[in-house]
């Protein structure tokens, strides 16, 4: 049963432009569905937002973008938090759950180029062209397919990254199609990168709404935003990642397709230098999404994925933030 209509529902969000666009979309949808309720956005900066001069792989895992929001919920200072699902760890703190997954935008990676390369595609960029990405997943796959390109880490919000590109610090950037689209920057997308070249991040393109376990009133409210096919796809992807014990900064990519009641999950694990890339797929009932994710993870483990990941964990060990 939904809680008293008089109570204000507090939504926790990061302060970044993309986070606020996503959170205000959720707020608006819920306000339309429940006109007698009040939905208030509470913003805060996370550790990941504050540390912009160090590659993500060096400073920690996905929790960098969620911990402060989770503390607010556990302290009953917020009722739920809106995340880009790809930023949400697969193992959540005790007392919190993934309460809702919204309909997914296109989860593909996208190429954005400097003006001088407007007539090029990813596959035709010249040798030595500098491509910016902060994702080891993208880096490993692109090194595998395009070893002649040069890759350079890039941090900052979307506007900052695009400004660095336009200023000539980079020749191209690899960004999420969904983020560019949600911020009204779809015209900057030069090429949507096919999954054959770059499998996307787990949960990419979907919003994940995290809330307190057992909060029946909030869970009932969130039901109006749940998109079952997206939720099934993302459950398979998150189970695959969890079984591989992979965090934010490991080269693990996925792709999921639902046709009728069937789900096809493709997954990959790669070495950082792109010299080895393992890829496989499984299919089965969409209702058994998590089991499919675990099955695929075990298939890749049997092909050597565990050794690849262990090598990466030993090489790219997060530095202490204390």
Rounded CA separation 154/117 (Å) = 19
Q: How many CA atoms lie within 13 A of 191 on its CB side?
A: 20
pLDDT surpasses 90 at 322: no
Rounded CA separation 252/266 (Å) = 11
Active site residue 119: no
pLDDT given at position 48: 45
Kindly report which listed range (50-59, 63-72, 128-137, 290-299) carries the lowest average pLDDT score: 50-59
Cα angle value 157/189/103 (rounded, 5°): 75
Catalytic choice (49, 79, 87, 273): 87
46 — pLDDT class (breaks 50, 70, 90): low
Q: Which domains does the chain have, with CATH numbers?
A: 1-102+205-226 (3.40.190.10), 109-192 (3.40.190.10), 228-322 (3.30.160.40)
Cα angle value 233/17/238 (rounded, 5°): 20
Give the C-alpha distances (Å, rounded to integers) separating 45 from 12, 65, 134, 183: 11, 8, 19, 19
pLDDT given at position 311: 87
Tens of pLDDT, residues 111-147: 999 999 999 999 999 999 999 998 999 999 999 999 9
Q: Kind and range of the H or E element at 258? A: strand 252-259
The dihedral formed by the CA atoms of 153, 156, 157 and 158, expressed in degrees to the nearest 10: -40
SS3 track for 135-186 = CHHHHHHHHHHCCCCEEECCCCCHHHHHHHHHCCCCCEEEEEHHHHHHCCCH
Q: Are 122 and 197 in contact (CB under 8 A)?
A: yes
Rounded CA separation 295/298 (Å) = 5
What SS3 class is residue 316?
coil
């Amino acid at each position: 049963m939904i809680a008293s209509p008089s109570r204000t529902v507090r939504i926790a969000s990061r302060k970044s432009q993309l986070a606020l666009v996503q959170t205000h979309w959720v707020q608006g949808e819920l306000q339309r569905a429940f006109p007698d309720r009040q939905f208030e956005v509470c913003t805060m900066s996370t550790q990941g937002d504050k540390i912009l001069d160090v590659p993500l792989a060096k400073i920690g895992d996905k929790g960098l973008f969620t911990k402060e929001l989770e503390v607010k919920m556990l302290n009953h200072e917020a009722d739920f938090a809106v995340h880009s699902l790809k930023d949400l760890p697969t193992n959540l703190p005790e007392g919190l759950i993934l309460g809702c997954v919204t309909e997914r935008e296109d989860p593909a990676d996208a190429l954005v180029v400097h003006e001088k390369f407007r007539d090029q595609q990813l596959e035709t960029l010249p040798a030595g062209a500098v491509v910016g990405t902060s994702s080891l997943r993208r880096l490993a796959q692109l090194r595998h397919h395009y070893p002649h390109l040069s890759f350079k880490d890039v941090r900052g919000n979307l506007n900052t990254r695009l400004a660095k590109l336009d200023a000539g610090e980079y020749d191209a950037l690899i960004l999420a199609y969904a983020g560019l689209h949600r911020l009204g920057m779809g015209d900057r997308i030069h090429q949507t990168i096919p999954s054959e070249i770059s499998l996307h991040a787990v949960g990419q393109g979907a919003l994940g709404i995290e809330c307190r376990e057992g909060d029946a009133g909030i869970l009932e409210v969130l039901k109006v935003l749940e998109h079952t096919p997206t939720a099934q796809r993302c459950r398979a992807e998150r189970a695959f990642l969890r079984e591989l014990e992979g965090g934010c900064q490991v080269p693990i990519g996925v792709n999921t397709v639902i046709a009728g009641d069937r789900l096809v999950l493709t997954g990959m694990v790669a070495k950082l230098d792109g010299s080895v890339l393992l890829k496989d797929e499984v299919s089965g009932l969409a209702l058994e999404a998590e089991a499919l994710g675990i099955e695929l993870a075990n298939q890749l483990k049997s092909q050597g994925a565990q050794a690849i990941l262990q090598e990466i964990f030993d090489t790219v060990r997060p530095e202490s933030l204390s």
